[in-house]
Structure 1
Amino acid sequence: MGKLKPCKYCRKSNIAVERWSSGGMMYMVKCNNPDCPVPPEGYPTGRNLEKVKDEWNKWN
């Protein structure tokens, strides 16, 4: 797994990768800091974990 950048809002490194099966495996990378607001555009999600992680790192 590649290294994930800290959250752009709170700058903490408490980043989580969530996964679930909803018509196929889905992934989401999110800040796991309870004090950090959910960004208006949402967190990166998708079916390809590497692409979702890349999206998080570009976003941050």
Structure 2
Amino acid sequence: MAKQVKAYVHLLYEVDYNNMTIKAKNRKCPKCGNFMAHHLKPVERWHCGYCGYTEFVVQQ
């Protein structure tokens, strides 16, 4: 019996059915072009796991 795999694609992309376009939810890394992860703790930041680029979110 085959093992079922959950599809998490719906968490990464938004689909606009009116215009038939697909848009990524996360940012792309300016250095390497891969998707970046959004971390909230210990400080809010965007981090690329591939090249190590990090952008900290400034809170006002």
For the aligned pair, the TM-score class normalised by the smaller chain equals 0.3 to 0.5
* Greater C-alpha radius of gyration: 2
Structure with higher RCO (Cα < 8 A, 6+ apart): 1
Q: What's the TM-score once normalised by structure 1's chain length?
A: 0.41
Greater helix proportion: 1
